[in-house]
Structure 1
Amino acid sequence: MKLVVFGANGPTGRQVTEQAVAEGHTVTAVTRRPDTFPLEDRRLHVVRADVLDPAAVERAVAGQDAVISALGVPYSRDPVTVYSEGITHITQAMTKQGVRRLVCVTSTVLFGVEAPGEGFFFRKVLEPFIVRFPGRTVYDDMRRMEEIVRDCDRDWTVIRPAGLFDTTAVSDYQVADARLPGRFTSRADLANALLRRAVDGGHVRTFIDVRTTEGTPSLLDLLRKEAVGGKK
């Protein structure tokens, strides 16, 4: 299968690319800095493009079977538009090029419900603080992105992971079309969920959660991570 990955040089994008190539797919990895991309393979094509450049996006999308967006930016007090502008260019390019399958990432907080099974401090204090203050501009733009995806005529799936952390292998993770219990999603599991939906075609026109249930970090690790922000 021919796949194009936007945000390919981010932590999740690299995992998606590596897993896809290992499965034998042909991957176009889109990055603004191809000289820093760490992966090489005969089935991998690394291209320089900015998701904010519609012409470059269309060139990357042309001839693909599916599109995976792993776009991510750190928390910022400044307005964020990368998600919404990027997905606008991606969906427009897919329509022009006749590519139907789109899988992309936002966040579990966009389910709009409290974290099930969590204590008072996490549900009422920590998560609302993160959403309203360091993460506000990021989550606002993720919401705009989801509206654009929902309104497009492509075969889309939006994955809403929880707090991201790094592992070396894919686990027996959980998937549901509602918010799942737990605070964390490993990037390996998120990447695998993105890849499976792109290749196998499940959960079309659905928002899904992906949750890691083993080897997860502590609440202190989460606090340290959120203190400095993070990228997908």
Structure 2
Amino acid sequence: MKLVIFGANGPTGRLATAQALAEGHTVTAVTRHPQAFPLSGPALHVAKADALDPEAVDRAVAGHDAVISTLGVPYGSEAVTTFSESAKNIIAAMTAHGIRRLVCVTSTGVPMKPPPGETLIYRKVIVPALLRMGRPLYEDAGRMEQIVARTDLDWTIIRPSGLFEGPAVTDYTVGPPQMIGRFTSRRDLADALIREAVEDRNVRSIVEVITTEGTPSVYRVFLQEALRIGGSGR
């Protein structure tokens, strides 16, 4: 299958690219900085493009079977438009070239509320702090979801929870929004992206991907993802 991956140079994008190549797919990895992309191979094309540039997106999308977007922005960003503007450009390009399958990433923070059944401290302390810092991100991710859902494409939106680095793909859970679960391994997220794209799972649905094995502490993820200590991004 011919896949194009936007945000390919981010932590999740690299994992998704590597997995797709290992499974025998042809991949176009889209990044603004191709010289910094660490992967190579005969089935890989690294394309320089900014997802906010409609013409560059159109060129990158042409000739593929499915589009995966792992684009994201760090906590603390102001006036975020990356999610919504990139979605508009990707959808326009897919429509122009007759490509139907789209899989993209937002966040479990989009509903701006904790799932039912969580602990009092998590609901009253941790989640409000994360939502305050990430509000511009979540609001634009919500706009992206609305833009994607209004299309007639075969789309799937994946919402991960707190992202962390895991050693291997686990027996993660995929389900409807507002599941209980605070963490998502980037390897699990990358695997879910590939599975959705190539196996046409959960078409025209929003799903969450939750990791339950080997998860870190809430404190660690809070520091790494919210305060950008130790890295950030999708």
**Other-structure match for 1:89:** 89
**Other-structure match for 1:51:** 51
Q: Which whole-Å CA distance do the structure 2 matches of 1:27 and 1:61 have between them?
A: 11
Q: CA deviation at 1:68?
A: 0.1
Q: Which whole-Å CA distance do the structure 2 matches of 1:145 and 1:195 have between them?
A: 20
Letter in 1 for 2:68: I
Letter in 2 for 1:41: G
Q: Which whole-Å CA distance do the structure 2 matches of 1:3 and 1:223 have between them?
A: 33
**Other-structure match for 2:61:** 61
Q: 1:12 and 2:18 equivalent? A: no
**Other-structure match for 2:215:** 216
Q: Which whole-Å CA distance do the structure 2 matches of 1:220 and 1:199 have between them?
A: 35
Are 1:6 and 1:13, in contact at CA under 8 Å, matched by a contact in 2? Answer: yes
Letter in 2 for 1:99: I
- Root mean square deviation, CA, Å: 1.2
DSSP-derived class of the 1:194 partner: helix
**Other-structure match for 2:40:** 40
Letter in 2 for 1:103: V
TM-score, L = length of structure 2: 0.95
Residue by residue over 1:178-206, the C-alpha shift from the partner in whole angstroms, topping out at 9 and shown as x without a partner, is 32222100000001101101000010110
Q: How many residues align?
A: 231
Q: Which whole-Å CA distance do the structure 2 matches of 1:99 and 1:150 have between them?
A: 16
Q: Percent identity?
A: 56
Q: CA deviation at 1:112?
A: 5.2
**Other-structure match for 2:228:** 228
- Could you tell me which runs of 5 or more consecutive residues in structure 1 were left unpaired when the two chains were aligned: none
Q: CA deviation at 1:213?
A: 0.6
Q: Structure 1 residues 65 and 77 mapped into 2: Cα distance closer, same or farther (>3 Å)?
A: closer
Q: CA deviation at 1:134?
A: 1.2
Letter in 1 for 2:127: E
Residue by residue over 1:52-79, the C-alpha shift from the partner in whole angstroms, topping out at 9 and shown as x without a partner, is 1101101111010000000011122520
Q: Which whole-Å CA distance do the structure 2 matches of 1:116 and 1:2 have between them?
A: 39
